[in-house]
Chains A and B, each alone.
Chain A
Amino acid sequence: MNRNQESPKGFTLVELLVVIAIIGVLIALLLPAVQQAREAARRSQCVNHLKQLGLAMHNYQSTFGIFPYGQQTEVGGNTHRRDCWYQRILPFIEQRAMSDAYESDPAEYVMYVAANVRTAEVFTLTCPSDPGAPGHGASGSSTSFQGNYGMSCGPGKYSFNTSTSPATISVTSMDIVGSDPGGMFYRESHNSFRDCTDGSSNTLMAMEGIVRKSGVSSWGETGGYWGGAPHGSFGISVAETPNTSVADRLYSCSVTSVPGAPSHAPCENGNSGGLPGRWNFARSYHPGGVNSVMVDGSVHFFADTINRQTWLKLGIRSDGQVIGEY
């Protein structure tokens, strides 16, 4: 009662400061967590998109008994030169109208088909964590749609060193646009489930990449489905681990590095640099790794720190090696 008489109501300034400080600390703890929740939501959306891609591939396989080719060999005079898996699976990702418009288009090259077809954004093939998505570019025109996903091509030419135990794989030529780089999808690939003898749950089907800069005319970066295929756009190599600091090597880059991306997503201009071989590596804006879909349709998150040998074995469809934990 005495105390009440000393301070009948209210509180002191210091008490107020302490309360404000406590609230401030709580908000400071909460805010970054909220932002992480947003990224987690975007990542699960990306997982869902890869799952859709995997299902589309399975439906294509059920219809034709085989997975689509990574890309088609260009034949002079033919229509739709540079056609790749993207155009093949359009009917299976609920884009039948786009597919019909494309198939009836008489253009010689896919980059010259009607603009409303090639610029249409297919949300299912974009990753919401990528600030550049949905992208446009990577296939000559600065307006053609550029997705985020590429099929798993394998590492290129490789050899086994059996003097170590387990045997180690060394990549002797990283090119993915040449003949059979070892994965499930490449030029004129005609693989089905029986061809991945390592098992469909142990073999990669598709990975994600990033859109370095949208709205730039360049050739070959991941997702340039409308003409970039022979320069590397159709696929992703497993020769280096996800988000590697080793540069992608394409016909031409939109930009050679992205300051905000993991490892700055370096890129080399293959044509103006006179550099042989073409490849994209798996890259993403998700913290610490990339999402990928396996041939069986399951989607997994692969850390940047994954053992490179494990990553190679996951990408090669018939290496016969024990994969172990990852």
Chain B
Amino acid sequence: MRTSLALFVCLVLGASLGCSPSTSAPDMQIVEGTVTFDGKPIETGRILFRQTEGDGRAYSTEIVEGSYKLEVKQGPSEVTITASRLIPGKFDNSNGTPEQMGEMYIPARYNRKTELNALVTPDGKNQFAFDLVSK
């Protein structure tokens, strides 16, 4: 009786071995922070971290109500931020039916010709706040 019980417990424990959730890829760190434009949080937009060393891989996520959170490989990255808004009364007709157009209102120095950088480290808090200004 006792040995059977012990056998049962061993079986259950043995079966559950190796069932823990696998961890994410190596060297990945959680990065989070806030993004503001002229002092106000960016409601919707995208932020992208591109490795400036190695193969130049990029990681990106949405900015929601001024904050973001994603996994980035450790090391130096350049950061680009984009956000858009609709232009009232401006339409594109290339498909035969008018579709409302928008504009990307973040200056080029934060995206196309970015000057933003971040160093993602394996230890310590990877929190980066980006306070963008229009001028």
User: Using a CB–CB distance below 8 Å, which chain A residues touch chain B?
Assistant: 12, 14-15, 17-18, 21-22, 25, 28-29, 109, 140, 168-170, 219, 227, 230, 240-241, 244-247, 251-252, 257, 266, 268-269, 271-275, 305, 307-310
Contact A21 B60 (CB under 8 A): no
Residue of B nearest to A20 (CB): B8
Q: A18 contacts which chain B residues (CB < 8 A)?
A: 4, 7-8, 11
A274 touches B4 (CB 8 A): no
A219 touches B57 (CB 8 A): no
Q: How many A-B residue pairs have CB under 8 A?
A: 88
Q: A168-B56, A240-B58 in contact; A25/B101 too (CB < 8 A)?
A: no
Question: With an 8 A cutoff between CB atoms, is B69 at the interface?
Answer: no
Query: Whole-angstrom distance from the CB of A237 to the nearest CB of chain B?
Result: 13
**Chain B interface residues toward A at CB < 8 A:** 1, 4-5, 7-8, 11-12, 15, 25, 46, 48, 55-62, 70, 82, 84, 86-87, 92, 94-96, 99-104
Residue pairs across A and B with Cβ atoms less than 8 A apart, 15 shown, are: A17-B8, A18-B4, A227-B95, A244-B58, A244-B60, A246-B59, A247-B46, A252-B99, A257-B62, A266-B61, A269-B102, A272-B84, A272-B86, A273-B84, A273-B102
Check A246 against B48 for contact (C-beta < 8 Å). Answer: yes
Known: A168-B55, A245-B59, A309-B56. 14 other contacts (CB 8 A): A17-B4, A25-B11, A25-B15, A227-B95, A245-B60, A266-B62, A271-B92, A271-B102, A272-B86, A272-B99, A272-B102, A273-B84, A275-B104, A305-B25
Q: A307 contacts which chain B residues (CB < 8 A)?
A: 55
Contact status B96-A109, CB under 8 Å: yes
Tell me the smallest distance from the CB of B74 to a CB of chain A, in Å.
Answer: 15
Alpha-carbon distance A230/B92, docked complex (angstroms):
14
For A112, give the chain B residue with the smallest CB separation: B96
* Chain A contacts for B87, CB-based, 8 A: 274
Question: A271 to B99, Cβ gap below 8 A?
Answer: yes
Distance of A168 Cα from B8 Cα, bound (Å): 58
Cβ-closest 7 pairs across A and B: A273-B84, A274-B103, A308-B55, A274-B102, A25-B15, A14-B4, A246-B60
Q: Please, how many angstroms separate the alpha-carbon atoms of A309 and B62 in the complex?
A: 25
Indicate if the CB atoms of A272 and B101 lie closer than 8 Å: yes
Chain A contacts of B82 at CB under 8 A?
273, 275
Chain B, residue nearest A17 (CB): B8
Partner of B104 from the list A25, A169, A245, A274 (CB cut-off 8 Å) is A274
Are the C-beta atoms of A274 and B70 separated by less than 8 Å? no
Q: Are A14 and B86 in contact (CB under 8 A)?
A: no
Q: Which residues of A contact B15 (CB under 8 A)?
A: 25, 28-29
Known: A21-B12, A25-B15, A140-B95. A275 touches B56 (CB 8 A): no
> Which residues of chain B come closer than 8 Å to A269, judged between CB atoms?
84, 102
Q: Closest chain B residue to A228 by CB distance?
A: B95
Interface centre among A14, A140, A170, A305 (most CB of B within 10 A): A14
A257 to B64, CA, bound (A): 14
Assembly CA distance A257 to B55 (angstroms): 26
Are A274 and B84 in touch, CB under 8 angstroms?
A: yes
With a cutoff of 8 Å between Cβ atoms, the chain B residues found around residue A309 in the complex are 55-56
Query: In the complex, A109→B4 CA distance in Å?
Result: 75
CB distance from B69 to the nearest CB of A (A): 12
Complexed CA–CA distance, A305 and B54 (Å) = 13
Residues of B within 8 A of A140 (CB): 95
A170 (CB) vs chain B CBs: closest residue = B56
Task: Name the B residues within 8 Å of A227 (CB-CB).
Answer: 95
Contact status of A22 and B11, CB under 8 A, knowing A14-B4, A140-B95, A245-B70: yes
Contacts of B8 in A (CB 8 A): 14, 17-18, 21
